[in-house]
Amino acid sequence: MNKKISIVLVGVGGQGVITAANILGNAAVKADVMVYVSEIHGMAQRGGNVVCTVRMGEVSSPMLPSGTADVVLSAEPIEALRNISFVNKKTKVITDINPVIPFTVAVGGEPYPKLDDVFKEISKHAELYKIDALKIAKESGDAITKNTVLLGALAATGVLPFKPDVLLETILNMVPDKYKDVNRKAFENGMKAIKK
Amino acid sequence: MEIITDQPGKKILLLGNEAITRGALEAGVDVATTYPGTPSSEIADTFSHITKYFTKKGDKPPFYFEYSTNEKVALEVAAAASFSGLRALTCMKHVGLNVASDAFMTYTYVGCKGGHIIVSADDPYCHSSQNEQDNRYFAIFGGAPMLEPTTPQEAKEMTGVGFDISEQLSLPLLLRTTTRLSHARGPVVFEKMQKPRGIGHFEKNPLLVTVPAVARKQHPVLLERMEQAEKISEKSQFNEVVNVGKPKDIGVVSSGVSFNYAKEMAETLSLDVRILKLGMTHPIPRRMCEKFIKSCSTIVVIEELEPILEQQFKTLAFDMKSDVKIFGKSTGRFSRLYEYNPDIVVDVFSKIFKVKNPFPKPVESKIKLPSRPPSLCPGCPHRATYYAVKKAAPKDSIYPTDIGCYTLGKEPPLEMADVLLCMGSNAGTACGFAVSTGQKIVSFMGDSTFFHAAIPALIDAVHHNHDVVITVLDNRTTAMTGHQPHPGTEFDGMGRPAKMIRVEDVARGCGVEHIEIVDPNNIKETTAAFKRALDFKGPSFVVSKSPCILLEVDRKRKAGEEIPVYSINQELCKRCKTCIGRFGCPALYFAEDGSVHIDTTLCNGCGNCVQVCPFGAISKSGVKE
Ligand code: SF4
Ligand code: SF4
């Protein structure tokens, strides 16, 4: 096992990235692993991009050096690419394939790049895993479980210093009773999406 | 309510800000006050949640909490609690201390009685601020002991110890954090909670009245107290030497989050260094620092923003006639700008110590990505007001703005923000433009901002009959920082019913003669109201009243009301682009074929685009899931 584990979670304000990072942090505390979670959310609520870092193990700094992420977990494809400076050849980039178009595309005429190009570019620098988290979430019973799908995929990489069950339990602890079943399903389907 | 469990030894994940609140609870805080500001907000929001939890149960909360009108009021309310022997905490963002500084600078002369912690949450890199001032200068400027935590656990501990130090010295203590600490989460271990003192008692003391004769007496008292503080600093558990490798004569001096980078990067590079970790940074422990200087031939000082420790170390070295080499900012290695991170620290280390940077060069994407700046939300009433003003006002009108969501009106296509200094500056600068130009002036601020800092400027406009239109975008909340209440709302921060003050009543009381109150969601009437206000010679005041759309959607959800969504009839749409190109709701987008659509998952159903479309192509098409 690595002595230091660095996970970067990225996405767009409102996608629940901060909550997902928080869940990871709580799972680590549950597993008695040292952890720091860092978030920047000044105006994130208003649709800006969000970056959270989760570091576990023998770490002092909540921030990681460039090129040292073990996993980049992205809720939006171009946000994965925007944060490419965190990756090295061995980094696993797990990204949802559903774009959220920034309003600068509509108003300012900045183009949203072709998804194929985005994925190709990421693959050049890291190990890419594309998943349709939205579709898997819907199939699991509710679109709202999209981030649970992503966390399931993260757990399946084997990078985390604790069993996937610890993460799943942490998620189930944080959702209302009536959503527990769909979340369990979403998590398992997310794990499968990576394994195949 | 996990944060109020009195279970010593329990370990939970807390935000740096939440850890400060927990520390205050463990220390038996009696009175907590604030004006919300990122990155400090969660400290006070946690106090607020706790008091609401008690209020809801019908119990009296164990302490008093308020969102004060501004930071100066917050500091004064808490200072009086301290004068009465109670423990008090006041939290604010760094620029908040500018507002509170008038009270702060004399508070240290008279001193406090019950422990009083003033939290200043600084924001290197201006993640959500208008400047990145270094408030450690305030500790030096005003004469207050200061603590700087490196982790959430330490933030909790320092809050507790801070109350003791404050009481020992009879001085308010500055607990200085930065965004990277305030918004970092880490494991925090609980200790026992002390009972608050409850009701205080004020004993009169002529030395609390700072007439000149008293002030002259109290200044030397302050200096004596700072000498005492230095003794505390020498013994402080928060000042220590941390060894990495097998250190000989190379030292690092660091404080706050920079220490985390220094330690981890020194370990990563397998350096042999002694790190002087300073947690109590004002006053610095002079003897301890001198000893450290003596033991080193080279010292690297790592601190974000201003070279405050660096200068003190250089002064000490000069006085000691030491020939130690001190690397910091002035030698060009470290920047006075922005936040530090591991990359910056490793880069400087590898240059100074001539070791190889072990990290790969960061890769860059060849593809240009569209930017994703924050924007006014879909359905935000401010957008409708801006759109109406743009229609009503002549082309080269000046739009002074203020601190809050509405600064986002700066972005295209609205571009309705021309000048911004600080809280309340819209109205003051509006008056200045009125006497300096022949242009029309419409200024904007929020409701919370109005109460916080704009009333004196409004009075200035009335008294001097400045020809300005001053607008309050009254969305019934302090939206940007997380929807806190303010003097214009019906509940206070403890969840109790509160007297609601109307901004228009205040304006009337200040003598404004021309007042318009409009619902911005009626764009036609809003445009007409602004035309009348612009035609009026002298100061006019427009209250554009509509709740923040996020609150409105939330309210409708809870009440089981439907939230409509809108779509564009492609047969009627002439692709004139008015809705996107002039109004710019982020729910609108172009499809690849150039047709215009509404993303119904983003649409919050305000219906304002319907009024904007010249061809009647937009209409209600369903309800939000
Ligand atoms: S109704 Fe129109 S303006 Fe309002 S949120 Fe929906 S798309 Fe935006
Ligand atoms: S304003 Fe109306 S006609 Fe013009 S592009 Fe928008 S929907 Fe189409």
Give ligand 1 pocket residues (Cβ under 6 A): B 378-379, 566, 585, 587-588, 598, 603-609
DSSP B191-260: -PPPPP--S--PPP-GGGS--HHHHHHHHHHHHHHHHHHHHHHHH-TT-EEEEESS-SSEEEEEETHHHH
pLDDT tens digits, one per residue of A165-184: 999 999 999 999 999 999 99
Position A104 pLDDT exceeds 90: no
Q: Does B365 sit within 8 Å of A81, measured CB to CB? A: yes
Q: Does A102 sit within 8 Å of B13, measured CB to CB? A: no
Strands B146-147 and B280-282: antiparallel
Distance between Cα B578 and ligand 2 center (Å): 6
- Contact B344/B363 with Cβ under 8 angstroms? no
What whole-number distance in Å separates Cα of residue B534 and Cα of residue B453? 24
Question: What is the distance in angstroms between the Cα of B465 and the nearest Cα belonging to chain A?
Answer: 37
Position A41 pLDDT exceeds 70: no
Check the CA dihedral B212-B216-B217-B223 and report its sign. positive
Number of neighbouring beta carbons within 10 Å of residue B472: 30
Span B124-135, average pLDDT: 94
Report pLDDT for B340.
Answer: 95
Distance between Cα B521 and ligand 1 center (Å): 11
Span B131-137, average pLDDT: 97
Query: Which residues of chain B are within 8 Å of residue A64 when distances are taken between CB atoms?
Result: 342
In this structure, what is the dihedral angle of CA atoms B472, B477, B478, B484, given to the nearest 10 degrees?
160
Task: Write the residue with the smallest CA distance to atom 2 of ligand 1.
Answer: B609
Q: Does B584 sit within 8 Å of A85, measured CB to CB? A: no
pLDDT tens digits, one per residue of B178-192: 999 999 999 999 999
Helices (H), B27-68: 41-57
Report pLDDT for B454.
Answer: 97
Query: Which residues of chain A are within 8 Å of residue B267 when distances are taken between CB atoms?
Result: 60
Q: Of all atoms in ligand 2, which is nearest to the CA of residue B615? A: 3
Residue B297's pLDDT band (cuts 50, 70, 90): very high
Q: Residue B98's closest CA among B35, B164, B44, B185?
A: B35
Report pLDDT for B333.
Answer: 86
Average pLDDT along chain B: 96
- Contact B567/B342 with Cβ under 8 angstroms? no
Span A127-131, average pLDDT: 97
Residue A110's pLDDT band (cuts 50, 70, 90): confident
Q: Does B590 sit within 8 Å of A22, measured CB to CB? A: no
Distance between Cα B617 and ligand 2 center (Å): 6
For the record, the structure tokens of B457 come out as 């400027």
Report pLDDT for B373.
Answer: 84
Residue A42's pLDDT band (cuts 50, 70, 90): low
pLDDT tens digits, one per residue of B346-364: 999 999 999 999 998 899 9
Query: Which residues of chain B are within 8 Å of residue A137 when distances are taken between CB atoms?
Result: none
Determine which of A33, A46, A78 to mutate to test the interface with B (most B C-beta atoms within 10 Å).
A46
What whole-number distance in Å separates Cα of residue B55 and Cα of residue B45? 15
- Contact B73/B84 with Cβ under 8 angstroms? no
Distance between Cα B444 and ligand 2 center (Å): 28
What whole-number distance in Å separates Cα of residue B124 and Cα of residue B182? 12
Report pLDDT for A1.
Answer: 46
Position B216 pLDDT exceeds 70: yes
Q: Does B180 sit within 8 Å of A29, measured CB to CB? A: no
Position A196 pLDDT exceeds 60: no
Burial class of B589 by CB neighbour count within 10 A (0 to 12, 13 to 18, 19+): buried
What whole-number distance in Å separates Cα of residue B421 and Cα of residue B407? 11
pLDDT tens digits, one per residue of B1-32: 899 999 999 999 999 999 999 999 999 999 99
Query: Which residues of chain A are within 8 Å of residue B371 when distances are taken between CB atoms?
Result: 102, 104, 110
Residue A43's pLDDT band (cuts 50, 70, 90): low
Give per-residue burial for B297-308: e unless 16+ CB within 10 Å, then b. Answer: eebbbbbbbbbb
What whole-number distance in Å separates Cα of residue B343 and Cα of residue B349? 10
Choose among A41, A61, A102: nearest Cβ to B372.
A102
Q: Which of B521, B566, B623 to mutate to test the pocket of ligand 1 (most atoms within 8 A of CB)?
A: B566
Collapsing DSSP to helix, strand or coil, B439 comes out as coil
Q: Residue B449's closest CA among B474, B416, B469?
A: B474
Q: Does A61 sit within 8 Å of B127, measured CB to CB? A: no
DSSP B454-487: IHHHHHHHHHTT---EEEEEE-SSBTTTT-B--T
